Every structure is written in structure tokens, then in C-alpha cells.
Amino acid sequence: MKVAIVMGSITDRPVVEKAYAILRDFGVEVELRVISAHRTPEIAREFALSAENEGIEVIIAAAGKAAHLAGVLAASTTLPVIGLPLMSSALDGLDALLATVQMPKGVPVATVAINGAENAAYLACQILSLRYEPMRERLQEHKKQMEEEIRTVDEELQRTMKGNQ
């Protein structure tokens, strides 16, 4: 299992490291790259065209401002591309969100929330789980853990509230 996380700038690294950590925790090999849709368009195209041959199964593309990276990559591959819009401008990431989500027909990009690196990683894992049963089992266990955490917090809240009455 291999996912590529491509960021438009090295300044995006603090956000994408959250996705990197989750993917590694789930046992996914991660290729981390800096490729700009605007400053290195030929490299972006070459990367997308060769990604599948390199064993990459999902691409996460993180970019801010005009945020064309996900679309540029999706235009050159049939691999699933997850757009991760980043908050990097005076518009608080809304520009990146709209640029990422408004793809033309036939060039889909799954899009997560602004700075939503964690969900980009979980979505990549869910895509991989269609092919890898152990990943599906790991995701099911993760959802059970999240449920248990919420139940525990709720039970503690209820005990606290009863004690304050």
C-alpha cells in the first residue's frame, strides 16, 4: 500500500505531516513530494503519469491559494486524487477550497476541509480498504476506538453533572 502526498510548497509541510503520521500509523508507505502546479508543471504531469507504475495507489495533493495541484495531477492519472486545500492566503483558504472542489466534469478530485489533513489520510485509507482487507479491519477498529472515547467522555460528563446537582 502506497500513498503519495504532494505539496505545492515546503511551507505546507506542517499541515501535511498530520496526514503522513496517520498513514504511517495505518501501515501505509508514503512518498512525500514538493511539486508545484504552476512553477513545475512538467514535473507535476510526469509525476502523475508515472505514479501508478511507481506503486502509488492514492494521491493526496495539498495546496493553497489558487490550489490547482490536485486538478493538474488528476488530469494526468486515473488514480484517486484527494485535494487538501490549505489556509495560506488572505482568504483563509476559501480560495483553495473552491479551486480544489470546482473540477470540470470527467476530472474528479475528492476534497476534504481546509487544512483537513487528517481526513485526507483517513479517506486514503478507506480507498485502500477496498483492496486490502487488513486495512478495512484496521479502520473498523479505529471507528470503534473513536466511539469508545466519546462514550467515555459522555459517561464522565454525566457523572460530573450528577455530582453538581
What residues does 84 pair with on adjacent strands?
A: 62
Domain boundaries 2-131, CATH class = alpha beta
How far, rounded to the nearest angstrom, does the alpha carbon of residue 64 sit from its chain's CA centroid?
14
C-alpha cell recorded at residue 24:
504511517
- Please write the tens of the pLDDT for every residue from 54-77: 999 999 999 999 899 999 999 999
HEC secondary structure over 73-86: HHHCCCCCEEEEEE
- Please write the tens of the pLDDT for every residue from 92-151: 999 999 999 999 999 999 999 999 999 999 999 999 999 999 999 999 999 999 999 999
Contact partners, residue 155, CB within 8 Å, separation at least 6: none
C-alpha cell recorded at residue 87:
489556509
- CB neighbourhood size of 153 (10 A): 10
Q: What is the DSSP letter of 88?
A: -
**Residue 88 pLDDT class (50, 70, 90 cuts):** confident
Q: What is the value of pTM for the model shown?
A: 0.93
